[in-house]
Amino acid sequence: RMSRHAKKLRDHDINPCLAETDATTKCMDDNNYNKDLCSDYFLKYRNCRKFWHGIMMQRKRNGVKPEMPSAEERKKILESVG
């Protein structure tokens, strides 16, 4: 059974970097946990986290709730930035 925390991390509305997380995990699994072979995946994950953290902080400053946009909203934000 998944813990509440683990369920939250698997929720697309809460975790904007689920695809990057899964891709990184798969790369690590496929490459016998050799981080060097997965550095591109780690970079994509870090960039994703950095981007959405910035959006979240901006929304927090502006009093927008929820601070993390929903998966649907995030899709529109990504389309608008290209």
For 39-63, write each residue's pLDDT tens digit.
999 999 999 999 999 999 999 999 9
Does residue 5 belong to any structural domain of this protein? no
Q: Is the bond into 66 cis (omega within 30 degrees of 0)?
A: yes
Total tally of structural domains belonging to the chain: 1
Q: How far is residue 17's CA from residue 12's CA, in Å, rounded to a whole number?
A: 8
Asked if the structure places residue 6 within a domain, the reply is no
Q: Is residue 1 part of a domain?
A: no
Check pLDDT > 90 for residue 6: no
Residue 46 lies in a domain: yes
Return d(Cα 13, Cα 72) in angstroms, integer. Answer: 8
Confidence of residue 7 (pLDDT cuts 50, 70, 90): confident
Q: Is residue 2 part of a domain?
A: no
By residue range, what is the domain housing residue 18?
Answer: 12-80
